[in-house]
A and B are shown apart, each in its own frame.
Chain A
Amino acid sequence: MDVIKAIEAEQMKDNMDHFHVGDTVKVYFKIKEGEKERIQVYEGLVLCFNNGGIRRTFTVRKNSYGVGVERIFPLHSPRIEKVDVVRRGRVRRAKLYYIRSKVGKAAKVPELIIRKR
């Protein structure tokens, strides 16, 4: 087992714990078109994290011209350049699947405000 863990650890990023479920994020994803490589930005709400280790993924949901779009990214993928947090969300559960059946204001996640003491 240790060998497998060592192989996985080689590829894992250690700077991917700065965003959480409920946050609105911008994912900078590298896309290859023929010879050229460009970066596509995908912005949306983080619904959930799934799996563990190298297989860890996160789901980002956005509304595109009235249609809900969900995209699952492998967290440790080398094609993810970076993930920026646009807005922190205040949530009380780990999976926000209920958002899918909500429309309008009900589909919003309140912003997380951390007061300084």
Chain B
Amino acid sequence: MLGLIGKKLGMTQVFDAEGRLTPVTVIKIEDNVVVENRTVEKHGYNSCVLGSFDKKKSQTTKPYAGQFEDICNPKKTLVEIRDFGQEAAVGDVLGVDLFKDVSFVDVVGTSKGKGFQGGMKRHGFAGGRATHGSKFHRDIGGTAMSASPSRTFKGHRMAGRMGTERVTVQNLRIVRVDEEMKVLLVKGAIPGPAQSVVIVKKAKKK
């Protein structure tokens, strides 16, 4: 599946061909360098390792920099894309034009952190009544059965840390591919704050 590393820049709106406003997310795709090709013979599966965003030499260790030797400058982000679906030799530079003939993409990102949240926000529990003497407002309610089993099962949904997890949004339409500015416009929202790293892949289900 074709894929590239990008950076979420933010959202805006564009007018489409019929003059309708379309909400879009702007994803910057800097040069993606093919760092390694993994093969069935050697690794047991096919994949392509891409690197993006330059890293300062002073910030790299020798072992880290070693994997980029003779290929390119050390990169901040390394991502493995399984079954790339296109011939890509080590050292090739891939850009946003890879998505020229693609109309739908999936975007993988890390969602915004929400901190410690209750059951209503975190899991969509209904909660209780606000007024009329109700003493049950935003609690999570019962968590287990009675004397048997006499304990709460592991993994029960409760309050806790929410967000900052890997989220995939599928089937986002590509509105525009701008090779000059190296940006991709996709319709709708994608996970994570602005300036965060995202992986853009060709849609799996289209």
Q: Does A95 contact B (CB under 8 A)?
A: no
B29 to chain A, nearest CB (A): 11
Given the complex, which residues of B lie within 8 Å of A54, measured CB to CB?
A: 12-14
Residues of B within 8 A of A (CB): 9-10, 12-15, 18-19, 21, 26, 28, 178, 181, 183, 185
Q: Does A4 contact B (CB under 8 A)?
A: yes
- Interface contacts (Cβ under 8 Å), in number, total 38
Given A30-B19, A74-B21, also A4-B13 (CB < 8 A):
no
Identify B12's interface contact among A8, A30, A76, CB under 8 A. A8
A1-44 interface bits toward B, Cβ cutoff 8 Å, 1 = contact, 0 = none: 10110111001000000000000000000101000000000000
Cross-chain contact A78 with B15 (CB below 8 angstroms): yes
Cross-chain contact B12 with A1 (CB below 8 angstroms): no
Given the complex, which residues of B lie within 8 Å of A1, measured CB to CB?
A: 9-10
Told that A54-B14, A74-B15, A77-B21 touch, could you supply 8 new A-B pairs with CB distance under 8 A? A1-B9, A3-B28, A3-B181, A3-B183, A4-B10, A4-B26, A7-B26, A53-B12
Cross-chain contact B12 with A4 (CB below 8 angstroms): yes
Given the complex, which residues of B lie within 8 Å of A79, measured CB to CB?
A: 19
Which of A7, A54, A78 counts the most B-chain CB atoms under 10 A from its CB?
Answer: A7
Identify A11's interface contact among B10, B14, B18, B183, CB under 8 A. B14
A86 CA to B14 CA, complexed, in Å: 30
Q: Does A71 contact B (CB under 8 A)?
A: no
Q: Does A82 contact B (CB under 8 A)?
A: no
A54 CA to B24 CA, complexed, in Å: 12
Contact count band on A: 10 to 19
Given A74-B21, A77-B19, also A6-B181 (CB < 8 A):
yes
Q: Does A55 contact B (CB under 8 A)?
A: yes
Residues of A within 8 A of B (CB): 1, 3-4, 6-8, 11, 30, 32, 53-55, 74, 76-79
Cross-chain contact A3 with B9 (CB below 8 angstroms): yes
Given the complex, which residues of A lie within 8 Å of B9, measured CB to CB?
A: 1, 3-4
Given the complex, which residues of A lie within 8 Å of B15, measured CB to CB?
A: 11, 74, 76-78
A87 to chain B, nearest CB (A): 28
Cross-chain contact B12 with A7 (CB below 8 angstroms): yes
A-B interface, 5 closest residue pairs, ranked by CB to CB distance from nearest: A79-B19, A78-B19, A4-B12, A4-B10, A78-B15
A–B complex contacts, Cβ < 8 Å, 7 sampled: A1-B10, A3-B183, A4-B9, A7-B12, A7-B185, A55-B13, A78-B19
A6 CA to B26 CA, complexed, in Å: 11
A86 to chain B, nearest CB (A): 24
B139 to chain A, nearest CB (A): 40
A54 CA to B185 CA, complexed, in Å: 16
Given the complex, which residues of B lie within 8 Å of A74, measured CB to CB?
A: 15, 21
A79 CA to B15 CA, complexed, in Å: 10
